[in-house]
A and B are shown apart, each in its own frame.
Chain A
Amino acid sequence: MNLVRIFPTVLRATGAIAILGTAALVLWRGMSLLGLLIVGLSIPAAWVRIDLEPIGYVTLAPLMIFTGLLLTDTSVPLFVAGISPVVGGFISGQLHWDRSLEETGGEVIAVLAGLLLASQVGGVELLAPGNSGWIAGFAIVTVAYITVRFILSAVGARVLQGVGFVTYSIAAGKAIAANLTLLALLAVGMSYLASAYGRSGYFILALAAIAVVEAYQPFKLLSDQRAVLYASLAMVAHAIDLKDAYTGRHARDASEIAVRIARALRLPEPEVRKIKLAGMLHDIGKTGVSGKIIRKPSRLDPEEMAVMRRHPVIGAEIMQPVELLSDASDIVRHHHEHFDGSGYPDGLRGEQIPIGSRAVLVADAFNAITTDRPYQKARSKAEALEVLKKHAGTQFDPLVVEALEGVIHLVP
């Protein structure tokens, strides 16, 4: 499906054009002192970037966009929309040009949509507070902006991550819409104060922007720490893989495939999160198994086999006492159960096996076949799928294999 490529490319191109275009617009029109202040305040605002589950983000840049819409001419909010993702990435030290350009594209399209709609209805000049009709004008722009942002991120989630529209709306989509609405209301209050108190109004504006940044800061801390936590789990999984013949990103890829399968099966989002963790850490129990057994190319003798077969149980035992991971420990325990009951450790069959375990088993096998292993070369995705289909109903759940087939173009 080409949408996977087209959608981000279009956003990025728009973003690149927007950065240059808005910079040119500002150079041409010049900027007032107030405009400069708003652009300056958008730097700390853009620094507060909160990543949402399963995908999407909230920043405070819209606060300055809305304030700019109310207090200055349109070049300032457009400029803020154009530069804030890049500035935010730059000052937090994690500038990814691709992502920043995509976000720039989204922001600018949304602001432009708002301005266009407002100019169709009644003209943008009405916006400054105090002028008659400014509420209506501002409401139109904001509603259009929020709607476009919401739709763009929902489409992004659908196209890039396979998250359904409804699932997205009740998770990240809801948070995006609610926060943008809150920021719009705050911007109204800030603009009112700034225009009501003359010179000291600028002072109030700066204080208010910093106060909002401070109020959001715990959520940024949380979001950053969550990223570090997931990264550290990935590191643990990666390190455990070193006991095996070195396969690079196996744990991470297996987790991603399992998540794709889970989304294709339309599992609820909390279940998907568990599967993501379990997919990553499914082999963590191998810490307790000697590397000699794990890497042995020939058949294992019964004793070695018994040791090897304990790794799902050990893994579940490691995860059980850790909050956040304990939910996923069941999936790890059963990730070697076969659909016909011939697996281990408990010999469960069919529906008795947690759906997460069935997904992780298929993802693990698929990734193993499509990467180089000491005992065989990597095979193509199509070949791997043939193998999985051959064992569907005995080893694998046919529904899960079918789900994987549906998203085969999306998996690594």
Chain B
Amino acid sequence: MSASTTKGWVGRSIPRKEENRLLRGRGKFIDDIKMRDMAYLRFVRSPYAHARITNVDTTAAEAVPGVVCVVTGQEIMAQTQPFIEIGPDPGGKIRDFPMATDKVRYQGEPVVAIIAESSRLADDAAELVQIDYEPLPPVTTVDEALSDASLIHPDIGTNRNWTGVYEYGNVDKAFEEAAYVVSIDRMHFHRFSSTPLENNVVIGQWDSKDDNLYYWCNNSFPSFAIQFLAAHLGVPIDKIRVQTFDIGGSFGIKITTYPQMAVCALASKKCGGRPIKWAETRSEHMTSSAHGNERTFFDTKVALDKNGVIAAISSRHVDDCGAFPRYEPLGCVIFTQVLCGTYRFRNVHIEFSQVVTNKCPVGPNRGYSRMQQLWFLERVIDICGHELGIPNDEIRLRNYVRPEEFPYTTPNGCVYDSGNYPKMLERGKQLLKWDEWQEKVKAMRAEGRFVGIGIGTTLDSGTNNFGQARIVNPGAPFSGNSQGANCKLDIYGEVVVAVGSCPQGQGHETTAAQVVADVLNIPPDLVTVRTGFDTERNVHTGFSGTYASQFAVSGLSAVHGAAQKLKGEIVQLAAFRLETSEDDIELGMGNMGPEARSRTRGTSINYWSLANLVNVNSAELPPELYHITLNCRYVWRAPFKVPNLEKKFGNLTLTYAAQLHIAVVEVDRETFVPKILDYVAIEDCGKAINPAIVEGQVYGATAHGIGAAIMETCAYDESGNMLTSTFSDYTPITSMNMPLLKFDHIETPSPNTYSGAKGMGEGGAAPIHAMSAAIQDALFAEGIVVDDSFNNAESIFRSLGTKERSQRSKLVKVEKRV
């Protein structure tokens, strides 16, 4: 590649560097790893949602030839401390161990671990374990949880693990002055999950030689996991080494695998230090890994002026976090990153509670906690629009934050860095051919068809201020955000970058190479990027991992900083060697590869020679340059402050990407199947580092969201049995179900990042909002409002056919005061 083509790699859709490896089947995944003396772990799991364990008999299993050992929850409890609880009391008193001790609290909870010479032997032995249960009344709904009739954690005396009130502005006054008050009785955001191609896998070894813990795993937030593991296992954190490699998708769900990591370590210890592999099956993943949060919205009241501009929202939200809080109650504050969504209203009152239920514990699922709030707001907008007779595009335009208001400070102190929501809507309408569809919909409705157009506007808030944890627990020792990276010339002058992220398909190797290529003025092909977390690379901080739409901001800022440091050292060294000033040095490609050259003297030195000077020819280096290592670590820190805890006020996120989706949906009159007739997605993530990767992530997030909207639900029966524990029942979306997507990108650069990029990838669940809106638009004339985020044929039948749910007459009241 010539020097003339090496400028401006950021912003170009270059092919992904990792494709060559991944598409040829040469990726390195944890289950590919085989180790000498490795044994295999299989969990015996509870069939009950809620039951007391009265007896555990592992005798027959232990007698099976090839079984190495058996570990029970009681054994673990005797050797460990309960996991740290992020929340304060009462939730802080919950005693969470990686396996059930005295009772089981969700179907699929591990009770016994069998370790055997092969996974098949472990499977066979697991069937011989006899566990006696005394069933207890299961808690499967928020209503049951709130009643406290059956307590999941009796020690804390309630099922409500966290409660708080978020109030801003003058809500009472806004309601007094309102022209309309719209009341919505109850809405529900359903429980769904992610279905990564690769399930959770852990290899853990508590090495008896050095007493260190070694993990090879696909956890996607290892710096968080090791903090939990060190305290739980009672080992210094520097004795835990975690390595991740290629990861086949996570979507956040792989953050909370530290319980299984703990069991592998303890099993290894019991087996004399043998490496222990646990590879999760698909149905284990569906029942027992982690699900997304389920949320119910009660007693919502919306104050509007005579033009349909929202003045205030008051509501009561109850989040269901499953049997153990684990990453929670962070979701109880994270939703406030998008408290008002894309809208301008300033008066808000939300009473927020979280409850435990006898369901799988939740974990941060793509769009974590914000998508529920955004769906709620989009429902409010659409219900108010329909009730007041304001078209769904118009009511949004009347309520959007205006382009000239950026950077926009929300009532709770979040600062939206940039955006242009009206422009996104305009572009979306153009791409859809809005006016043509309006005419078509009229004609189709005249034929008796149920057709609607729905808009979903969302925010993809990225790069968290972990200080928000203190809003839910003032004692939480977190705030800010940071990421580390290392950029070096190795001994032979190769540019090598190491980052602490755990990419799962986001193309970090490529985008990091693009950033470094621009700094050093070389092609990205010449930049080797070591992705995957490794504690011993020493590039991570306590926030390192891949989650919450932040790599483009935090990860690449760290990479950029490290590359700038390296560039500075290269320039300094080259100036010495070429006997010129640093100002005279420029970097680029020469005949011998990457080089530094003197603009005025025409001399140059290539990277090999520079690296040689520092690493293996150092007698030629003058003492004043001894500080140069060509091995530069940089830690980027987000410019956050600790929020005001009393007022629950502060900037919680650094960037706010946005997505706007429009769906045209027809509900079949006979089968009630919702069918997408047309679909548009508009993205604004500021400066796109690699537009093709951005587009790919939009496609992925759209598929995930459409699947969640009309196909995927973690359904439980009243006994706490998960009814959708296989793909046959869960029916994850496939390419066959995807509409042809019309996609476009607008760009409002972020002033908060060096490149103007904003984090993206989660997508804010825009498809769920757009699909709910379109289905309501199709059925509003039939007396239906969409009050649930899951709308498959069966649920629409229950709305339209049997009238069991979603009846406008029961759910919505409008008080007109003008």
Specify whether A and B are partners. no
B binding-site residues for A, Cβ under 8 Å: none
A binding-site residues for B, Cβ under 8 Å: none
